[in-house]
Structure 1
């Protein structure tokens, strides 16, 4: 009994962290998914929560669950969670799931397969996709009074790139259940995409009437208002996002840009949040270094750039930025070392290599001129 209680407390804590987008123990979560450590409800819950995780390492565990887990509930959750991954490996796994003996798994696979271009399927695969898509569509209209069916239908059409059909489905879901939050949020993205900014804003504000602290609605509203130049309102919405989720990198990055004209200390702070919580996005660390320089924090900026280059050696904007600092300070030796190190990096284009070599030649010629 004691072990059972300890295990329950263990996975419950991990689920709490996943709900709060804390991924420091992601390896443990993925082990639960790939090794089917607990009952099917727990494993399926982890898979659904991983949808918000930005780390690509999660895909291997989810594919393992889709291929090998004995529970159709888990396999269906795995298939449904793959709607954003368009890799060849995922496509193959979903095609297998589309022939699963359980309908729940098949229709979940169909929803995720909707995101793939038809040209990526061979003739036999197209037949499989068509068959399972028909089954999926039948399932969606089986309950015409169910708002969630229309919401899921909206997601399907959105993945297929059919904005008009998706919006019709989302609006039907809203009419059937005006308190449904996600149709408002998803439809706002599409309204913005087709250029109807007013309707996008309206639906986001209606979502916030239902849930004023909703992270996704505030984030999307903040980004929408920022695009329109309504920076005061955008800042308010994005600050609400960070109140709800202090590690929200997109909100923090955009806040750093908005406040930079008035408060560089805050700009540095927000950019730091973005860089720390999205290390895979080099633009965030670059922005942090930029505001650090603007705020007379040169040493901190150099440290940020060196770390960025070490982790993303092909991000040459960071190399140029650090080189510019060295050049202005007359630190020729460090500049040469930086360029020479960059030339050794695999994956750099021949054009970029030639530009770096020319820069090195300029340094050499300048040194020779001074010695003469």
Structure 2
């Protein structure tokens, strides 16, 4: 249906965006890129397309191009939350973690309960070594959404890094219980094995 619509309206940026989204769902990233580029040729001010295309580019390792698109989206719509989140994620992927923290702090000053942003902030703060602030952000996430998997996983890592192995194991147990088939569950199981071993060693030394 979308293919037919695109043929009938080859200059319709909305249809081209939908075609790109369908291509992504089908795993055809090259086709999605072509459709997003066509949509932006027809409507360079389509902020949502800039953000979606930026995510695709960043996933493909083209972070500089992705950043340019998401900054364009923010110029078009300064209060665009999805664009701010995308920018922070792209900056983090480039190792520009402090810049990502600043973007997220600005965003959260107006949207303090945006849990995806809080989770990403916790992850960035942890990377900066600001463990207490990271823990505060992640515990706040879990207060409002006890099942948020990335927050459970990252908080477990924070606990393990500071020798709080029982608390780390509890975070990962909750994660695995809630989503046993999720990619993070496999990583949590692996981390839990290491943490359990370290915890036993620590207990023996303390006794």
> One fold, TM greater than 0.5?
yes
CA apart distance, 1:184? 0.4
- Which of the numbers 147, 165, 168 marks the counterpart of 1:279? 147
Distance 2:101 2:2 in 1: 41
Aligned residue in 1 for 2:34: 168
Distance 2:65 2:171 in 1: 43
Aligned residue in 2 for 1:155: 21
Unpaired segments ≥5 residues, structure 2: 181-187
- Which of the numbers 181, 192, 201 marks the counterpart of 1:318? 192
Distance 1:207 1:185 in 2: 7
TM-score (norm 2): 0.74
Computed over aligned residues only, the root mean square deviation of the Cα atoms, in angstroms, reads 3.2
Aligned residue in 1 for 2:71: 205
- Which of the numbers 162, 182, 204 marks the counterpart of 1:330? 204
Query: Per-residue CA shift, 1:234-262, capped at 9, x if unaligned?
Result: 1122334434362423x334322332345
Q: Indicate conservation of the 8 Å contact 2:6/2:12, yes or no.
A: no
| 1:227 maps to 2:93 | yes
- Residues 306, 233 of structure 1: alpha-carbon distance in 2 compared, 3 angstrom cutoff: closer
The count of aligned residue pairs is 194
Distance 1:233 1:182 in 2: 22
Query: Per-residue CA shift, 1:111-145, capped at 9, x if unaligned?
Result: xxxxxxxxxxxxxxxxxxxxxxxx43112332334
- Residues 290, 154 of structure 1: alpha-carbon distance in 2 compared, 3 angstrom cutoff: closer
| 1:302 maps to 2:198 | no
CA apart distance, 1:197? 2.2
TM-score (norm 1): 0.45
- Residues 149, 242 of structure 1: alpha-carbon distance in 2 compared, 3 angstrom cutoff: same
Q: Indicate conservation of the 8 Å contact 2:123/2:134, yes or no.
A: yes
SS of the residue corresponding to residue 312 of structure 1 reads helix
Higher RCO (CA-CA < 8 Å; seq separation 6+) = 2
Query: After superposition, where does 1:325-364 map in structure 2 within 5 Å?
Result: 325-330=199-204
Distance 2:32 2:193 in 1: 43
| 1:189 maps to 2:19 | no
Distance 1:194 1:319 in 2: 32
Q: Indicate conservation of the 8 Å contact 1:247/1:273, yes or no.
A: no
CA apart distance, 1:289? 3.5
SS of the residue corresponding to residue 205 of structure 1 reads helix
| Higher Cα Rg, which structure | 1
Query: After superposition, where does 1:94-109 map in structure 2 within 5 Å?
Result: none
Aligned residue in 2 for 1:267: 134
Query: Per-residue CA shift, 1:24-44, capped at 9, x if unaligned?
Result: xxxxxxxxxxxxxxxxxxxxx
